[in-house]
């Protein structure tokens, strides 16, 4: 056996084991990226993939169990559950991605500004974030959504209001860690402007942890959006959305469990895929894996 094959790092892991681990992580990452992309494609082309009109009512076929004609059964109005689950993916997934994008951009911008400037701006914005963090997130979102009224837009606003401090805290800490580093001092000596320092140097160096946190937050935000819809403060019927579909079927759980199980399974699978993608992305971006 060659010397390279038995060379070990500080943790006693051989080079060969490191390569196997890195290849395993890359394979997992590719699998979960493909699965996440498949979910996005289904949500984009939902209108073409639905076997039936998701909003067409047929009371003669109400609450029919799964069959060859309706793979996931029908609801109390005779609407095909498979079509409604597919149609609901558009609202559920894209609303979640929009929400995560808003809180990521807003929180990161606030965190960079606070970490870079410090002083009174940092104190004021961080105390505001402490105020939002002092309340249970979903309870605060329920209060905000209740004031704004129902609807998917108001649900997104309500969750965005209480979710940005996490990213602000993360970005602030990372910015403080980078602020006094030698490469930034050299950039200052090169007469780089503040916007250039933030965009060209700070942002790329903190983007990794922020991106991982953002991907991991997709599942949480999807659950909270579904929770607001379940409680009647999100999407309004008859629009297909997984949380509201569970709410519609909960009273029929004993006689027609597929009305709850179908959208519930869709939420479970989607959240699991994005959570596993986030975990694998975190492992892939770990500096220890870049040897």
Three-point CA angle 206, 210, 215, nearest 5°: 150
Burial 209-239 (b: 16+ CB within 10 A, else e): ebbbbbbbbbbbbbbbbbbbbbbebbbeeeb
Threshold 0.85, pTM exceeds: yes
pLDDT given at position 4? 46
Place of tokens 């067409």: 56
In angstroms and rounded to an integer, the radius of gyration of the C-alpha atoms of the chain is 24
Q: Please tell me the distance from the alpha carbon of residue 203 to that of residue 121, in angstroms, as a whole number.
A: 19
Q: For the chain, how far is it from start to end, CA to CA, in angstroms?
A: 21
pLDDT given at position 197? 81
Within-domain flag for 28:
yes
SS3 74: strand
pLDDT in tens, the chain (291 residues): 444 445 555 555 566 777 888 888 889 999 999 999 999 999 999 989 999 999 999 888 889 999 998 999 999 999 999 999 999 999 999 999 999 999 999 999 999 999 888 888 889 999 998 888 887 777 888 888 888 877 888 889 889 988 999 999 999 999 888 887 887 778 777 767 778 888 888 888 888 899 999 999 999 999 999 988 888 888 887 888 999 999 988 888 889 999 999 999 999 999 999 999 999 998 888 766 555
Distance of CA 60 to the CA centre of its chain: 39
Q: Please tell me the distance from the alpha carbon of residue 250 to that of residue 177, in angstroms, as a whole number.
A: 49
Within-domain flag for 40:
yes
Q: Please tell me the distance from the alpha carbon of residue 44 to that of residue 179, in angstroms, as a whole number.
A: 41
Within-domain flag for 156:
yes
Asked whether the CA dihedral 20, 22, 23, 25 is positive or negative, the reply is positive
pLDDT given at position 9? 52
Peptide bond into 238 cis (omega under 30): yes
Q: Write the DSSP symbol of residue 70.
A: S
Token pair recorded at residue 246 = 């569970």
pLDDT given at position 11? 54
pLDDT given at position 16? 74
pLDDT given at position 2? 47
pLDDT given at position 20? 80
Q: Please tell me the distance from the alpha carbon of residue 245 to that of residue 86, in angstroms, as a whole number.
A: 12
Token pair recorded at residue 9 = 């790092």
Here the CATH number for the domain that contains residue 136 is 1.10.3720.10
Across the strands, what pairs with 74? 80
Structural domain boundaries enclosing 123? 14-290
Non-local (6+) Cβ contacts of 237 within 8 A are 244, 248
pLDDT given at position 223? 92
**Residue 152 vs residues 56, 58, 156, 159, 195: alpha-carbon distances, Å:** 22, 27, 6, 11, 35
Tally of domains in the chain: 1
pLDDT given at position 92? 92
Long-range contacts of residues 154-159, Cβ cutoff 8 Å, at least 24 apart: 154/233, 155/95, 155/225, 155/228, 155/229, 155/233, 155/234, 155/235, 156/95, 156/98, 156/99, 156/102, 156/225, 158/228, 158/233, 159/99, 159/103, 159/221, 159/224, 159/225, 159/228
pLDDT given at position 152? 85
Within-domain flag for 69:
yes
Within-domain flag for 163:
yes
Within-domain flag for 100:
yes
Within-domain flag for 86:
yes
Composition of the chain by helix, strand, coil, percent to 5? 75, 0, 25
**Residue 139 vs residues 136, 142, 143, 200: alpha-carbon distances, Å:** 5, 5, 6, 39
């Amino acid at each position: 056996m060659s010397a390279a094959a038995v060379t070990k790092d500080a943790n006693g892991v051989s080079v060969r084991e490191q390569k196997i681990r890195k290849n395993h992580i890359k394979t997992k990452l590719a699998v979960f990226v493909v699965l996440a992309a498949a979910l996005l494609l289904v949500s984009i082309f939902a209108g073409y993939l639905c076997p039936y009109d998701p909003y067409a009512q047929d009371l003669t076929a109400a609450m029919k169990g799964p069959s060859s004609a309706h793979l996931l059964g029908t609801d109390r109005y005779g609407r095909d559950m498979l079509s409604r689950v597919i149609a609901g993916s558009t609202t559920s997934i894209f609303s979640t991605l929009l929400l995560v994008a808003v809180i990521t951009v807003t929180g990161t911008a606030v965190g960079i500004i606070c970490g870079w400037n410090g002083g009174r701006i940092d104190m004021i914005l961080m105390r505001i974030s402490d105020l939002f963090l002092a309340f249970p997130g979903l309870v605060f979102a329920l209060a905000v959504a209740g004031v704004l009224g129902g609807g998917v837009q108001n649900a997104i606003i309500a969750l965005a209001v209480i979710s940005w401090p996490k990213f602000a805290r993360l970005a602030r800490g990372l910015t403080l860690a980078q602020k006094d580093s030698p490469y930034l001092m050299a950039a200052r000596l090169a007469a780089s402007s503040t916007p250039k320092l933030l965009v060209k140097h700070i942002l790329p160096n903190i983007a990794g942890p922020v991106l991982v946190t953002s991907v991991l937050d997709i599942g949480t935000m999807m659950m909270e959006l579904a929770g607001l819809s379940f409680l009647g403060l999100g999407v309004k019927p008859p629009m297909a959305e997984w949380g509201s579909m569970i709410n519609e079927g909960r009273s029929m759980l004993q006689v027609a469990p597929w009305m709850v199980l179908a959208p519930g399974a869709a939420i479970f699978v989607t959240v699991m895929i994005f959570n596993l993608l986030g975990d694998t992305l975190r492992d892939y971006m770990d500096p220890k894996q870049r040897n």
